[in-house]
């Protein structure tokens, strides 16, 4: 297997731009997904089944359908409906966020329900309302338990962002496909992309492991 270092050098700036966009898509989707996931998870835990029903339907749909299909639906349907025209980056962030929110919601739900019910009762006995008890007592304890599954979801999201190439978002895989199409080479673009994804996910794993150890000692 001979490696064409010259074409890798030629496409290095494009891979750099693609990597930055991949990171940007991932960060934006993680933040939005976590915010949405928290509200969806709390909504699913409602004792009123009619209130919980739409949240259950949301989770079922986004966990039960392929992300690729969701990206296409958002890109060709939802975004043009809202903005009047499609936009690849907006569609990618929206689809990734909505998909991630479904998984994050289940993580939040499991984390919150893992806290002993006595914690809520103790907080309420001190005069806190339900929102204050969740904010100051339940969620801080649950967050420590949610770090490993949240970390796994973030890593999956970084890799899933590669699907944005299907709607011509110029992230990492997009430039890999461009190199392949120009030079009809397979090894150089995709091994390079794989190594970059590996660096990104491994770096995030190290950060999350350090955070988990730090919180465990507090």
pLDDT score recorded for residue 79: 94
pTM of the model: 0.89
Measure the CA–CA gap between 108 and 59, rounded to whole angstroms. 13
Domain boundaries, the chain: 7-215
14 neighbors 189 (Cβ within 8 angstroms): no
* Cβ neighbourhood burial of 5 (10 Å; 0-12, 13-18, 19+): exposed
Tokens at 43, concatenated: 């909504």
Tell which wins on pLDDT, 27 or 116: 27
**Tokens 């899933």 sit on residue:** 160
Measure the CA–CA gap between 24 and 21, rounded to whole angstroms. 5
The CATH code of the domain at 7-215 is: 1.10.3720.10
Share of the chain above pLDDT 90, in %: 64
Share of the chain above pLDDT 70, in %: 98
Tokens at 162, concatenated: 């590669």
pLDDT score recorded for residue 218: 62
pLDDT tens digits along 51-87: 999 999 999 999 999 999 999 999 999 999 998 898 9
């Amino acid at each position: 297997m001979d490696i064409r270092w010259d074409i890798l050098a030629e496409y290095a700036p494009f891979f750099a731009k693609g990597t930055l966009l991949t990171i940007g898509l991932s960060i934006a989707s993680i933040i939005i997904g976590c915010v949405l996931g928290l509200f969806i998870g709390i909504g699913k835990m409602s004792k009123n089944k009619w209130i919980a029903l739409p949240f259950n339907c949301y989770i079922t749909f986004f966990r039960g359908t392929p992300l690729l299909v969701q990206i296409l639906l958002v890109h060709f349907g939802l975004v043009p409906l809202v903005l009047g025209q499609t936009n690849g980056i907006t569609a990618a962030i929206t689809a990734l966020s909505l998909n991630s929110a479904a998984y994050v919601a289940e993580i939040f739900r499991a984390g919150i329900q893992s806290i002993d019910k006595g914690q809520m009762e103790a907080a309420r006995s001190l005069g806190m309302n339900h929102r204050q008890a969740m904010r100051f007592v339940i969620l801080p304890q649950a967050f420590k338990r949610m770090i490993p599954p949240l970390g796994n979801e973030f890593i999956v999201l970084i890799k899933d962002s590669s699907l944005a190439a299907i709607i011509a978002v110029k992230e990492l895989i997009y430039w890999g496909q461009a190199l392949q199409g120009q030079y009809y080479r397979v090894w150089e673009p995709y091994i390079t992309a794989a190594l970059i994804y590996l660096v990104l996910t491994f770096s995030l794993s190290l950060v999350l492991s350090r955070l988990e150890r730090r919180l465990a000692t507090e």
